[in-house]
Copies of this chain bind each other. A is one copy, B any other.
Amino acid sequence: MLIRIYNARIWTGEKYIENGELWIEDGKIRLVSQVCPLIYLPWDREINAEGNLVMPSFKNAHAHSPMVFLRSYADDTALDEWLHTQVFPREVKLTRDDCYWLTKLAIAEYLSSGISLASDMYFHLDGIAEACQECGFRNVILEGITEGNGPKDKLFKRLEWGMDTMKKTGNLIEYRLGLHAEYTNSEQNIQAMAEFAKAHKMPVYTHLSETKKEVEECVERHGTTPAVYLAKQGLFDFGGVVYHCVHPSDDDIKVLKEHNVSVISCPASNIKLASGIAPLQKLVESGINVGLGTDGPASNNCLDMFREMFLASGLQKAVLSNPSAMDGEFVLEMATYNNAWAMGMNNLDTIEIGKSADLIMIDLHQPNMQPVNNVLKNIVYAGSKSNVLMTIIAGKILYEKCEYNIGTDIDEIYSKCGEITKRIISQ
Contact = CB atoms under 8 A, between A and B. Distances in A.
List of 5 A-B pairs having minimum Cβ-Cβ separation, nearest first: A109-B367, A72-B378, A302-B382, A271-B318, A386-B386
B382 A297 contact: yes
Given A303-B368, A371-B418, A381 B75 contact: yes
Contacts of A300: 381-382
Contact of A323 (B69, B76, B414): B76
B370 A417 contact: yes
Interface residues of chain A: helix, strand, loop or mixed (majority): helix
Interface stretch (A19-27, A272-280, A348-356): A272-280
A396 B270 CA distance: 41
A271 B301 contact: no
B373 A72 contact: yes
A323 B72 contact: no
A108 B410 CA distance: 29
B76 A324 contact: yes
- Contact size range, A: 35 or more
Given A268-B314, A418-B370, A382 B71 contact: yes
A268 B378 CA distance: 14
Interface stretch (A77-85, A166-174, A251-259): A77-85
A410 to B, nearest CB: 8
A103 to B, nearest CB: 12
Interface in A304-322: 304, 307, 310-311, 313-315, 317-318, 320-322
A276 B321 contact: yes
Nearest to A372: B418
A48 interface: no
A106 interface: yes
Q: How many copies does the complex hold?
A: 2
Given A78-B324, A310-B268, A381-B301, A71 B371 contact: yes
A45 interface: no
A382 B314 contact: no
Nearest to A375: B72
A195 interface: no
Contact of A377 (B69, B72, B314): B72
B325 A274 contact: yes
Contacts of A73: 373-374
A371 B323 contact: no
Nearest to A365: B414
B302 A384 contact: yes
Given A105-B370, A386-B112, A381 B272 contact: yes
Contacts of A272: 313-314, 317, 323, 381
Contacts of A75: 327-328, 374, 377, 381
Contact of A373 (B315, B324, B384, B421): B421
A321 B368 contact: no
Contacts of A414: 365, 370-371
A28 B268 CA distance: 39
B417 A371 contact: yes
15 contacts: A71-B371, A71-B382, A72-B381, A73-B374, A75-B327, A76-B323, A78-B323, A82-B323, A105-B371, A108-B367, A274-B317, A303-B368, A304-B382, A370-B418, A371-B417
Nearest to A380: B75
Nearest to A108: B367
B109 A374 contact: no
Contacts of A105: 367, 370-371
A273 B381 contact: no
